[in-house]
């Protein structure tokens, strides 16, 4: 079957619509066309490292880290329950778990806007119970809540897929040798599930760092994460050089984090989704 | 005791996942426009939804782009997957990594880089640019759906067809294509859902009044809460559910087939 030329349209497509656009991002980060032709500049890259922008980058990473930790703490027990053999009707529960993910993530974020409003449903219920009301919409807390809500399945599914493949006899062996459940968990189950945990972390952390929608809707118009900063450069300020530089730095940091993570994740078992 | 804890935890997590969606759906039937109180049952938001010209045009663009983008992506992607199985060594590694690239790069970077390209070549942002962007992010999904199917079939059947006098084209049409068609359909459906669902890439690559449903929701949500969005989202949720049931049904059917072959 010598049909290599069939890939040609695809390769051309990817060259034009993936490689060249990335080269353009690179180009706009480092080159500037002035009245006397195109010249090299590091001005845009340097601006990324100004304190106000570093603060935004730092906040994006901090919020993403916090959300990832919440997802892990909430998601790991859920994955264990889904993978446990005592569970009846497991397939049904898993489909039920995946369904919200198929709903547009804007819709899910919007749903939280309506719940968290000052006279929203949560506060109505709290008032009816004569409890103090909360006002967390347009704060860090609402943004973290939105991230955890949107990305929790990305943490649960990879962990679940690894946990459900663990050989039961290994766990039984640990029990036979006298390990209590806690010891069995920390010495056997958790280490075996690490590949799933790592891909879960990557899959939550990546979209959490780069989002600009959750922060805009739940954080309010003035709320700035690196995604909002990039969006602003391209759609409001029209500063392509700075926007490209921000994107470039963001991609570099993400590639580095993922590179370090996947080095630990030697067998790529955990990467599978379904 | 343990199973009680497990059940309560499962309930809490599912409550967390579903409560917002259910509330949203419930309030799409609310007579009163202010969502603090229930003003009685109504279907008027569903009627007004289809009288809103902005939403109707967004719906039209969403579906049109999803159909065209997933068809084009399926054709290019299937051809590429067939070619890819015949590649060896470095070219294969390069092509595969090129296919992973859009999956790994953040949406926002894909969006702005495509926007830069379109503006750079002086293409007006609008329907065409959004379509091109959608084809681009759909392609990897088609390829990764078709490739496993191609790996399963043996080269012998193809060679047998050639020995029996079929031209290479006939052999592909009559022997290979029927065997990989489940993968092609899955790839098409994945591409379709990705396109229907996309916000970030569309947001940066569209312009001049062309917007899809996600972009409309975004702009409406920023302007303030509107019960019409609830009605729209309820309808979308039902559509997604139907599509999901269909895909699931297909996949389980295939699984059964494979299992039977294995035995």
Residue B39 covered by a domain: no
**C-beta neighbour count of B260 within 10 angstroms:** 8
Could you count the other beta carbons within 10 Å of the beta carbon of residue B70? 26
So what's the ipTM on this one? 0.85
Structure confidence at residue B255 as a pLDDT band (50, 70, 90): low
Q: What are the pLDDT digits (tens) for B58-113? A: 999 999 999 999 999 999 999 999 999 888 888 888 888 888 888 888 899 999 99
Chain B residues within 8 A of A213 when measuring between CB atoms? 199-200, 218
Tally of helices (H runs) and strands (E runs) in chain A: 14, 2
Residue B49 has pLDDT above 70, yes or no: yes
pLDDT value at A257 more than 50: yes
Q: Are residues A69 and A205 in the same domain?
A: yes
Q: A32 phi and psi, to 5 degrees?
A: -140, 130
Helices B2-26 and A51-83 sit at what angle, rounded to 10 degrees? Answer: 120
How many angstroms separate the CA atoms of A254 and A260, rounded? 10
Number of domains in chain B: 1
Mean pLDDT score of chain B: 87
* pLDDT value of position B263: 46
Q: How much is the pLDDT for B10? A: 92
* Residue B77 placed within a domain: yes
**A17-34 pLDDT, tens digit each:** 999 999 999 999 999 887
A219: CATH:
1.10.3720.10
Domain match, A75 and A181 both: yes
Task: Specify the pLDDT at position B259.
Answer: 59
Q: How many CB atoms lie within 10 A of CB B97?
A: 10
Q: A244 and A172 share a domain?
A: yes
Residues 103-142 in B contacting A (C-alpha not used; CB under 8 Å): 104-110, 112-117, 120, 132-133, 135-136, 139
Q: A106 and B199 in contact by Cβ < 8 A?
A: yes
**Residue A266 reports pLDDT greater than 60:** no
Among candidates A115, A33, A53, which has minimal Cα distance to A243? A53
Read off the pLDDT of residues A160-177 as tens digits, 9 standing for 90 and up: 999 998 888 998 899 899
Phi and psi dihedrals of A40, rounded to 5?
-75, 140
Domain span at residue A13 reads 1-41
Q: pLDDT band at A111, cuts 50/70/90?
A: confident
- Does one domain contain both A199 and A144? yes
On whether both A168 and A265 belong to a single domain, the answer is: yes
Mind listing the pLDDT tens digit for each residue in B138-167?
999 999 999 999 888 888 888 898 899 888
Q: Kindly state whether residues A57 and A6 are assigned to the same domain.
A: no
Residue among A9, A18, A145 with most chain B CBs within 10 A, to mutate: A18
The answer to the question of residue B148 being in a domain is yes
Using a CB-CB cut-off of 8 Å, the residues of chain B touching A86 are 3, 6
The pLDDT, as a whole number, for residue B258 is 60
Q: Verify whether the Cβ–Cβ distance B204 to A234 is below 8 Å.
A: yes
Residue B210 domain-assigned (yes or no): yes
Residue B211 maps to a domain: yes
Same domain membership, residue A97 and residue A5 = no
B233 lies in which domain range?
Answer: 50-254
User: Taking 70 as the threshold, does the pLDDT of residue B18 lie above it?
Assistant: yes
The pLDDT of residue A272: 40
pLDDT at B3: 82
Contact A248/A25 with Cβ under 8 angstroms? yes
* C-alpha count within 13 angstroms, C-beta hemisphere, residue A144: 16
Give me the percent of chain B exceeding a pLDDT of 70.
93
Nearest to A99 among B105, B217, B244 (CB): B244
Quick one: A183 and A78 in the same domain? yes
Of the pLDDT bands very low, low, confident and very high (cuts 50, 70, 90), residue A106 is: confident
Question: Is there a single domain that holds both residue A160 and residue A207?
Answer: yes
Nearest-by-CA chain B residue for A99: B241
Q: Do B83 and A112 touch (CB under 8 A)?
A: no
A18/A63 same-domain check: no
Calpha distance B20→A117 (Å, rounded): 13
Evaluate if residue A9 carries a pLDDT over 90: yes
How confident is residue A271, by pLDDT bands cut at 50, 70 and 90? very low
Res B33 pLDDT > 80: no
Q: Is B112 close to A5, i.e. CB distance below 8 A?
A: no
Q: Mean pLDDT highest for which of A44-58, B28-42, B150-164?
A: A44-58
pLDDT score for B221:
81
Distance CA A183, CA B252 (A): 38
pLDDT of residue A268: 47
A252: nearest CA partner in chain B: B105
Rounded Cα distance between A226 and A74, Å, is 26
A104: left (phi over 0), alpha (psi -120 to 50) or beta: beta
pLDDT in tens, A117-142: 877 778 888 888 888 888 888 899 99
For residue B35, pLDDT over 80 is answered with no
User: Are A25 and A99 in a shared domain?
Assistant: no
CATH number at residue B69: 1.10.3720.10
Query: Which pLDDT band, with edges at 50, 70 and 90, does B241 fall under?
Result: confident
What is the per-residue pLDDT for A210?
93
**Any bridge partners for residue A32, and if so which?**
A39
pLDDT at position A37: 81
Q: How many CB pairs under 8 A join A and B?
A: 216
Q: Are residues A17 and A72 in the same domain?
A: no
**Contact state of B20 with A149 under an 8 Å Cβ cutoff:** yes
- A2 pLDDT band, cuts 50/70/90, is low
Nearest to A24 among B101, B120, B236 (CB): B120
The domain total for chain A is 2
How many other CB atoms are found less than 10 A from the CB of residue A31? 14
Q: In the structure encoding, which two tokens stand for residue B163, read together?
A: 């020995």
């Amino acid at each position: 079957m010598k049909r290599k030329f069939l890939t040609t349209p695809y390769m051309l497509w990817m060259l034009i619509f993936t490689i060249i656009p990335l080269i353009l991002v690179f180009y706009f980060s480092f080159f500037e066309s002035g009245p006397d032709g195109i010249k090299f500049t590091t001005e845009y890259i340097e601006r990324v490292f100004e304190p106000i922008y570093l603060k935004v980058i730092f906040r994006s990473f901090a919020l993403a880290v916090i959300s990832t930790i919440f997802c892990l703490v909430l998601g790991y027990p859920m994955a264990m329950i889904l993978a446990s053999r005592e569970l009846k009707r497991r397939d049904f529960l898993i489909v039920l778990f995946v369904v919200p993910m198929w709903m547009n993530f804007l819709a899910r974020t919007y749903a939280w806007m309506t719940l968290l409003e000052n006279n929203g449903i949560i506060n109505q219920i709290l008032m009816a119970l004569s409890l103090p009301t909360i006002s967390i919409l347009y704060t860090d807390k609402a943004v973290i809540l939105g991230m955890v809500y949107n990305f929790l399945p990305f943490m649960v599914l990879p962990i679940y897929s690894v946990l459900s493949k663990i050989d039961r006899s290994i766990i039984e062996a640990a029990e036979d040798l006298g390990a209590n459940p806690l010891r069995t968990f920390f010495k056997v189950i958790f280490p075996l599930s690490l590949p799933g945990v790592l891909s879960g972390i990557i899959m939550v952390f990546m979209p959490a760092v780069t989002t600009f929608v959750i922060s805009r809707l739940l954080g309010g118009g003035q709320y700035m994460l690196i995604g909002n900063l990039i969006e602003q450069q391209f759609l409001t300020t029209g500063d392509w050089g700075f926007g490209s530089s921000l994107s470039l730095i963001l991609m570099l940091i993400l590639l580095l984090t993922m590179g370090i993570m996947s080095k630990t994740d030697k067998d790529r078992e955990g990467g599978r989704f379904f | 005791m343990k199973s009680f804890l497990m059940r309560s935890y499962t309930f809490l997590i599912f409550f967390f996942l579903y409560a917002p969606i259910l509330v949203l759906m419930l309030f799409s039937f609310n007579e009163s426009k202010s969502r603090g109180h229930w003003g009685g049952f109504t279907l008027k938001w569903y009627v007004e939804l289809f009288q809103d010209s902005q939403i109707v045009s967004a719906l039209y663009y969403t579906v049109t782009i999803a159909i065209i983008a997933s068809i084009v992506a399926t054709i290019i992607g299937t051809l590429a997957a067939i070619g890819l199985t015949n590649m060896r060594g470095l070219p294969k590694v390069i092509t595969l990594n090129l296919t992973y690239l859009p999956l790994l790069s953040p949406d926002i970077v894909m969006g702005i880089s495509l926007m830069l390209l379109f503006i750079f070549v002086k293409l007006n942002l609008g329907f065409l640019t959004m379509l091109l962007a959608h084809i681009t992010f759909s392609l990897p999904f088609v390829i990764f759906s078709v490739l496993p199917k191609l790996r399963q079939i043996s080269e012998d059947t193809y060679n047998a067809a050639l020995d029996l006098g079929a031209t290479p084209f006939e052999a592909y049409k009559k022997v290979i294509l029927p065997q990989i068609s489940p993968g092609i359909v899955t790839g098409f459906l994945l591409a379709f859902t990705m396109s229907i669902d996309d916000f970030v890439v569309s947001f940066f690559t569209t312009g001049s009044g062309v917007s899809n449903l996600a972009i409309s929701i975004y702009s409406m949500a920023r302007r303030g809460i509107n019960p019409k969005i609830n009605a729209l989202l309820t309808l979308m949720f039902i559509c997604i559910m139907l599509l999901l049931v269909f895909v699931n049904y297909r996949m389980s059917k295939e699984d059964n087939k494979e299992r039977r072959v294995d035995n």
